[in-house]
Structure 1
């Protein structure tokens, strides 16, 4: 793995030199965009809007538009904005991890201690494990400020969970939500029973990207010249009024049959 950030965690007066590595990778198939006429690859070029000519990477700069005039930014400008946060993620507070709503979660990263930081790294890891807390602070990653939540991934490694700013979460007040009316007691009882039947400990290894596998199977079939037909699926009737009790009963009975069969 390649580190995407080198710096340190500020833990009180203690600095823990660390490297940040992406903790995830995509399972999607790498599909190319092609011209339907001859299946040639579609290329994306960086083109000057006025001349129409392609621009080389070394000639590209970043700028901000103010009153019809671009202010060009150089590398030292980005570093000068918050020099301390480009190299240090200072923990400002500790919170219960469960108190942070998952709507704020963005990308996860693994933290690796550098040579002089192993002891302090282990100390922070075990302190967070024992207290059930997570450290919150801000830092600059890829030319933008980010909120980071440092938490134990397990008893061996710390994880940095990038968080969204509150202003990035949209307000739901414009949605057409159902009126605040309590459900019928019998329906609620059945819904709770169904939830209890389906309850288990979360195991991420149970879930796989089956769509990518099915799509790859189709690709291999087409490569052999076979014709692939999609199975017809019934579309949900959005306008139909459903008998909720009947659906809940059927769901419970179906679950019982599956449990008995297994």
Structure 2
């Protein structure tokens, strides 16, 4: 059962699409739990004061940003949210580009987006308009107190959000010793044979053809131990239930018309109708 890890809205001009965010990937490798060999109790991570070595409760932990002189600026969750309030619950589309313009190296983590409340129609409108134009959206979103750049991608009936790395997070290639580009250092015969080998190995992409051999071997070992009765009982620790709150928004034709009428060319400063932040002074919601 999928659970929404975030609820908010896609901002598309003056139109808002209420959505829930769901993980689209899952870990299928081997996840080894830590156990106390003496009692078979689960072993967890402790929050420890590094100076005293004592464990501390979660409510006593605050977020601090270290300064160059060694001092810290301490920020509460409320202060962090208030510093950038418009984006904490918004996937703000800033531009549309073709998918080929986004290098694979930037891709990070995929999520599904599901319409909430009365958002089905405007969700479908945005999806079909993007498919028709052959584009994906470039957006900003705040997840877990961190702003991410992301791409909004129509995939079948779904809109997917894939966080992407900021450009300055990719190390420059000039830190590596790489051979010069071009064919000058290669013999024609070598290049011809390599091209033939690549042609022979080129096949249509079928994700199901590739599996995790290490995980398969470990699972097989586990099954053999289960069959042999080599198991230990572990009392699980219950986790607290997670509560979420629905978000509701929408209306269409007029908002789209207003968005088009007030649109500035790319590179313009701010947005029409906004204050210093460039955000619209007010949003229509239903």
TM-score, normalised by the number of residues in structure 1: 0.78
Say which of 204, 209, 223 aligns to 1:206.
209
Say which of 197, 201, 204 aligns to 2:200.
197
State yes or no: 1:153 paired with 2:155: yes
Quick check: 180-189 or 20-29, which moved more? Answer: 180-189
Compare the two structures and name the one with the higher helix fraction.
1
List aligned pairs for 1:107-122, cutoff 5 A: 107-122=109-124
Per-residue CA deviation, residues 5-49 of structure 1 (Å, 9 max, x unaligned), is 111111122111111111011011121345789987654211122
Q: Which residue of 2 aligns with 1:31?
A: 32
Give 3-state SS (helix, strand or coil) of 2:174's partner. Answer: coil
Q: Distance in 2 between matches of 1:49 and 1:140?
A: 30
Q: Distance in 2 between matches of 1:146 and 1:77?
A: 19
TM-score, normalised by the number of residues in structure 2: 0.72
List aligned pairs for 1:132-171, cutoff 5 A: 132-154=134-156, 156-171=157-172
Tell me the CA shift for residue 113 of structure 1.
0.7
Q: CA RMSD for the aligned pairs?
A: 2.3
**RCO comparison, higher one (Cα < 8 Å, 6+):** 2
Q: Which residue of 1 aligns with 2:108?
A: 106
Per-residue CA deviation, residues 206-256 of structure 1 (Å, 9 max, x unaligned), is 111221011222345567599xxxxxxxxxxxxxxxxxxxxxxxxxxxxxx
Unaligned runs of 5+ in 2: 231-286
Q: Distance in 1 between matches of 2:133 and 2:203?
A: 26
List aligned pairs for 1:41-56, cutoff 5 A: 42-56=43-57
Q: Distance in 2 between matches of 1:44 and 1:36?
A: 16
The 1:53/1:131 distance shift into structure 2, 3 A limit, reads: same
Unaligned runs of 5+ in 1: 227-262
Q: Distance in 1 between matches of 2:102 and 2:162?
A: 11
The 1:187/1:37 distance shift into structure 2, 3 A limit, reads: farther
The 1:87/1:55 distance shift into structure 2, 3 A limit, reads: same
Q: How many residues are treated as equivalent by the alignment?
A: 225
The 1:181/1:125 distance shift into structure 2, 3 A limit, reads: closer
Tell me the CA shift for residue 109 of structure 1.
0.4
